[in-house]
Amino acid sequence: MQTVADLVPLSVRDLYDVRGTGQGTVEDALTALVSAAILRSGELGEWEDTRDDRQPPGGVPEVQLPPAQLQLLEDLTQLATWRHVRRRGDDPLLKVVVEDGAPEEIQEVALRLNSLTAADMASVNGRSDPVLEFTAFLSELDERQVRILRDRFLGRPPKKLAELASEFDVSRERVRQIETKLKDLLGSTFHFGTGIGNLLASLRTEIQPIAALDRLITLHPDLARDVPGVNVPLWLVLDRLDEYFEVTDGWAAAPDVAAAREQTRILLEDFATDHGVVDLAAVTAATSVPKTELLAWLSWCGYVLHNNQILTRTRSLNDHAAGLLAATGEPLHIDELQLQMGRDNSIRSLANQLADDERFVRTDRATWGLASWQLEEYTSIRQQIGLELAAAGGEVEIGQLIESITNRFDVSSSSVQAYAGNGDYEIVRGLVRRRESPATPRKAPSATRRLFKFDDDWWKFRVTITRDHLRGSGFPVPSGVASLVGCAQGGVVELESDLGTQSIRWTGLQPSSGTIKRFLDRLEVREGQNVFLEFGPYSRFDVSLQGPVNPEDHPLEQAAALTGCAEGVGNPEDAQMALAIAVDLPVDAKPRRILSAYRQRGDDDIAGLLEQEWTRPRHQWVDQSPADRAGSRAAENAAASTARGRAGESDLEVGPDEHDNEVDASDEMIDAGSAGLHDDQVSSDIGWVSVPAGYRSVGWIRPHEAEAAVLAYQLHSDVPMHDGDKIAGWARYVDDNSGDASKFRANVMLARARSQGERIVCWIREHEAFSIIQAAAEERSVPVLGPDDVATGLVQYFQAGSEAAERYRSTTRLLRELNGQAA
DSSP 206-218: H-SSEEEHHHHHH
Please tell me the distance from the alpha carbon of residue 552 to that of residue 821, in angstroms, as a whole number.
39
Question: Does 418 have pLDDT greater than 50?
Answer: yes
Q: Could you give the 3-state DSSP secondary structure of residue 53?
A: coil
Q: How confident is the model at residue 507 (pLDDT cuts 50, 70, 90)?
A: confident
Average pLDDT over residues 43-68: 57
User: What is the bridge-based pairing of β-strands 512-513 and 475-476?
Assistant: antiparallel
Please tell me the distance from the alpha carbon of residue 785 to that of residue 794, in angstroms, as a whole number.
9
Residues 6+ apart with CB under 8 A from 611: 595, 672
Task: Give residue 821's pLDDT.
Answer: 40
Task: Give residue 499's pLDDT.
Answer: 92
Q: How confident is the model at residue 122 (pLDDT cuts 50, 70, 90)?
A: low
Q: How confident is the model at residue 764 (pLDDT cuts 50, 70, 90)?
A: very high
Question: Does 602 have pLDDT greater than 70?
Answer: yes
Long-range contacts of 138-143 (CB under 8 A, 24+ apart): 138/229, 138/230, 141/182
Question: Does 252 have pLDDT greater than 60?
Answer: yes
Task: Give residue 675's pLDDT.
Answer: 33
Average pLDDT over residues 649-656: 29
- Cβ–Cβ under 8 Å, residues 576 and 557: no
Long-range contacts of 395-404 (CB under 8 A, 24+ apart): 395/431, 395/432, 395/433, 396/431, 396/432, 397/430, 397/431, 397/432, 398/427, 398/430, 398/431, 398/432, 398/725, 399/430, 401/432
Question: Does 371 have pLDDT greater than 60?
Answer: yes
- Cβ–Cβ under 8 Å, residues 279 and 270: no
Lowest-pLDDT range, 53-57, 134-138, 646-650, 696-700? 646-650
CA end-to-end span of the chain: 107
Q: Which residue has the higher pLDDT, 716 or 281?
A: 281
Question: Does 20 have pLDDT greater than 50?
Answer: yes
Average pLDDT over residues 108-134: 76
pLDDT in tens, 333-366: 988 999 999 888 888 788 888 988 999 998 887 8
Task: Give residue 687's pLDDT.
Answer: 39
Please tell me the distance from the alpha carbon of residue 418 to that of residue 416, in angstroms, as a whole number.
5
Tell me the sheet residues that pair with 227: 232
- Cβ–Cβ under 8 Å, residues 668 and 782: no
Question: Does 156 have pLDDT greater than 90?
Answer: no
Question: Does 295 have pLDDT greater than 50?
Answer: yes
For residue 209, say if its preceding peptide bond is cis, omega within 30 degrees of 0.
Answer: yes
Average pLDDT over residues 377-402: 85
Cα 281 to chain centroid, rounded: 26
Q: Which residue has the higher pLDDT, 596 or 56?
A: 596
Percent of the chain scored above 90 by pLDDT? Answer: 21
Amino acid of residue 580: A
Task: Give residue 621's pLDDT.
Answer: 40
The top-scoring range by mean pLDDT among 109-118, 119-128, 212-221, 379-388 is: 212-221
Lowest-pLDDT range, 109-113, 201-205, 566-570? 566-570
Percent of the chain scored above 70 by pLDDT? Answer: 84
- Mean pLDDT for the chain overall: 80
Question: Does 757 have pLDDT greater than 90?
Answer: no
Long-range contacts of 610-614 (CB under 8 A, 24+ apart): 610/555, 610/556, 610/559, 610/579, 611/672, 612/555, 613/554, 613/555, 613/556, 613/572
For residue 278, CA distances in Å to 56, 284, 302, 374, 496 come to 72, 11, 14, 22, 49
- Cβ–Cβ under 8 Å, residues 459 and 484: yes
Q: Could you give the 3-state DSSP secondary structure of residue 614?
A: helix
pLDDT in tens, 312-322: 999 899 999 99
